Amino acid sequence: MTSCAIQDVDLVSMNGYQFSGMDQKEMKLTLRATINNENKFNIKIKKTKLKLSLSGNDGGELKLETPVTLVKKAENEYEFVIIGDSQKIKSAIIAAAIPIAMSGKVSISVKGWVKGKVFGFGKKIDVDYKESLSTKDFGLGK
């Protein structure tokens, strides 16, 4: 009898990001990541519940705009279009402005889960990602 256990996928690297747009209601950010899926089947990432924090300030919830399919037995780069509440994100940036200006860095934290589905079965994978970016990355600072 063959096992149908779902193996965890590996986040190999974060390859970049691009602001895709912002209006009064929402901000879109495209994240590029290399992910290795050693499973014998494709995994469809359909749902997220992620909390954003900018230098310790609540940036609200982030959601996946469209599902992303991780190809079986492959290591590929994928684009994830994430949507957040532009007012919450702006408030977090304003609240963090002085510490960011003084340090020249912004710490970004994303915590929560993503949900993948295979053959109708879902699995939640915890996410706890932290990164410190220089204001130079945004065209600001020295």
The one-digit pLDDT tens for each residue of the chain (142 residues) are: 455 677 888 889 888 888 888 888 999 989 899 999 999 999 999 999 999 999 999 999 999 999 999 999 999 999 999 999 999 999 998 998 888 888 888 888 999 999 988 888 888 888 888 888 777 765 555 5
pTM (whole model) above 0.85? no
* Full DSSP string of 62-129: EEESS-EEEPTTEEEEEEEEEEEEHHHHHHHHHHHHHHHHHHSEEEEEEEEEEEEEETTEEEEEEEEE
Residue 138: predicted pLDDT: 59
Residue 45: predicted pLDDT: 93
Residue 1: predicted pLDDT: 40
Residue 49: predicted pLDDT: 92
